[in-house]
Structure formats: structure tokens, C-alpha cells
Amino acid sequence: MKRKSLWILSLILILVIFSNSAASGEVSSGLSLKIAMPLHRWLSSSGAALSLDQVHFLVRKGAHFSEYALLGLILMAAFRFQRWPWMTRAITLAPCFLIPIVDEGIQRFSAGRSCQLSDMLIDMTGLFCGMIVMRRIRRQTPPHRQDKEE
């Protein structure tokens, strides 16, 4: 059951990522500005000399990284429960390349959006980081607990 739940959660997150990419540039910018504006006010009151555009840029790129890091965590957990060890090794990295490429491809056809290599690299880095974190968590989990989770 846990195996299916992780794959379903992965699929839902991928669909959320793709639906965000299908949003127009105006909608996407509006969503990220809802976070960037209060963050900019807080940073400005703290004495940080960042413009709203700089904060907005960091929020947008941070969103790319964090949504893919979360996906990496979930995918790595899902791959761990595969019955076939060769599958884990053979295709664990495939989503790290395919999902960001499809994601940016969707943005290429969305109004006011563009396909950027830098965003693909940020997405891939987020996925790798999420997978590495999950791998380290799994290594630190005592063996008797790992057996019970399966």
C-alpha cells in the first residue's frame, strides 16, 4: 500500500508542477508576487538592500528548486519500495532529466512564458538534492525500522 501511495503522490505532484507551467506568465507572476511582496517588505525592514524584482526572481527560482526537491524526496522513497532492484538503479535518474524537460516544454507553449535552460538546471538540481536527502535519511534509519516500513 505504501508503494502505491508514494507513486500516486509523485504523480499528483508532477501534475501540479505541469499545471503551474501551463499557467500564463501573468498568472504565474501574480502568484509568485504574493510571496515576493511581503518577503520584500520584511527584508527591507531588516535592512536588506534588495529590490522587489530581485526578491521576485529569488522567489521564482526558489519555487522551481523546492517543488522539484520535494518531488525528488518522494520519488526516491517510491523507488526504494520497488520489487526489482535493477529498476531502482536503471531508471531512478530518468525523471531527473525527463520531468524538467517536459515542464519547460509546457512553458514554451504557455502565453507569456519561455523555456529556459537555467530553469531546467535548477529543476534537475532540486530533484537530485531531494533524492540525496532521502537517501541519507534512509541510510540513517535503523535496519529494523526499514523492514517494518515495507
Domain-located, residue 35 = yes
Q: What is the mean pLDDT of residues 97-114?
A: 90
Round the CA-based radius of gyration of the chain to a whole number and report it: 18
Contact between 134 and 73 (Cβ < 8 Å): yes
Domain-located, residue 71 = yes
Domain-located, residue 43 = yes
Domain-located, residue 150 = no
Overall number of domains in the chain = 1
Mean pLDDT of the chain: 85
Domain that holds residue 9: 2-145
Q: Kindly tell me if the per-residue pLDDT of 48 is higher than 90.
A: no
Residue type at 72 in one-letter notation: G
Report CA torsion sign: 134, 135, 139, 143: positive
Domain-located, residue 42 = yes
Range of weakest confidence among 60-64, 75-79, 89-93, 138-142: 89-93
- Let me know how long the chain is: 150
Q: What is the mean pLDDT of residues 115-143?
A: 88
Q: How confident is the model at residue 138, as a pLDDT?
A: 80
Contact between 83 and 141 (Cβ < 8 Å): no
Q: How confident is the model at residue 25, as a pLDDT?
A: 86
Question: Which pTM value belongs to this model?
Answer: 0.82
Q: How confident is the model at residue 141, as a pLDDT?
A: 75
Q: Kindly tell me if the per-residue pLDDT of 147 is higher than 50.
A: no
Give how far Cα 49 sits from Cα of 1, 14, 34, 38, 43, Å: 50, 35, 20, 15, 8
